[in-house]
Amino acid sequence: MTGSALPRLLRPRGLRAGDLVVIASLSGPLPAAYEPNVERAVVVLERMGFRVRRAPLLEVGRRHWWSAATPAEIAGELNGLLRDPEVRAIIASDGGQTALGYLDLIDVEAIRADPKPILGYSDISLLHLVLYARTGLVGFHADMAVPGFGGHWQSAPVARQAELEKLYSGLLTGTAAIGALPASPSWECWRPGRVEGRLIGGVINRIVLAQATRFALPLEWFDGAVLFWEETGGLASHVWSYLQVMRHCGILDRISGMVVGVPREVSGLEPGASPTLSEIVLDVLGDRDIPVLGNVEFGHAGPNLPMPVGIRVGLDARQRTLSLLEPAVGPHTMTGLVG
């Protein structure tokens, strides 16, 4: 896409009962220890009413360096899924370190012709951001097979599992806005305020990396956006540094609000440590008076609330609410392109 005007959203076609979803290795390999997670994920997805198939690269023991296969092989399989009219959604098996290697190999024309939901977080954040930049596709920063449906979901209380299944199913099949995402007592108001804007984000280091490629989102696309991000691993100082990069490049001057996920295994953010994550965020924001909602359940720390990239949301940090104001998918038979 060219120009700096806000993109026309490309909504994936909504799913129906019996539609085929494919679990695919879009980044890292599948260790033998996580094969049961894939099997459990299949059960969860089938319970939602979908048929499930595994893509060929999702095979225990298959690897190339730190990846499930070479970037070209992964792109080839992904492109095949994008072109296959029977495949109605693609779910990443896991994250990893591979997406940067094939961002330029993705068949964006196939996406424009038949947009499908792509679900995943971590390294898959790069796909969501770059495909949004190139086509306007709504990507689903949401749970994957291994750490999500077959992992964290399994240890969640039964009532929470049922709540998440209903949420995901409604998001993928319904053409009405979800409204308020289910909140929890962990949500914290770090700076009050109420705004509406397009949801843009992912893992914070992947946001910064995406902006360093030729597929970066034009800065104007951040105007009025609600930026969401989370982080896993690394150091608290790294988070501060990534936020400073976004300050220097002008993103923080353009957004209208911020939503921060629960951090996972970030050294320096242990209970009682100083500074806290909220102190780091507010330090970099300075006098930018935008609402900030913290400690929201998306990302590496547990079951993910889905965050559809590009969708208009309502954020009220004081009331600790985050609402999806429009559907993430279009009618089953539409091309997906909307104004």
**Which element (helix H / strand E) includes 21?**
strand 20-24
DSSP string, 224-269: T-EEEEE-BSSBHHHHHHHHHHHHHTTHHHH-SEEEEEPPBS-BT-
The yes-or-no answer on residue 169 being catalytic is: no
Gyration radius of the chain's alpha carbons? 19
The yes-or-no answer on residue 248 being catalytic is: no
310: left (phi over 0), alpha (psi -120 to 50) or beta: left
Question: Minimal CA–CA distance to 25: which of 63, 86, 203?
Answer: 63
Q: What contacts 241, CB < 8 A, 6 or more positions away?
A: none
**Are the C-beta atoms of residues 190 and 281 closer than 8 Å to each other?**
yes
Residue 190, Cβ neighbours under 10 Å: how many? Answer: 19
Phi, psi values for residue 16, rounded to 5°: -125, 160
The yes-or-no answer on residue 77 being catalytic is: no
Catalytic residue among 230, 231, 297, 326: 230
Catalytic residue among 122, 141, 152, 297: 122
**Are the C-beta atoms of residues 97 and 28 closer than 8 Å to each other?**
yes
CA distance 135 to 201: 16
Bridging pattern class, strands 51-54 and 87-92: unpaired
How many alpha carbons lie under 13 Å from residue 100 in its C-beta half-sphere?
A: 14
Q: What contacts 224, CB < 8 A, 6 or more positions away?
A: 195, 197, 198, 254, 255, 256
C-alpha torsion 159→163→168→174, nearest 10: 140
62 class by beta-carbon count within 10 Å (0-12 exposed, 13-18 middle, 19+ buried): middle
Catalytic residues: 122, 230, 300
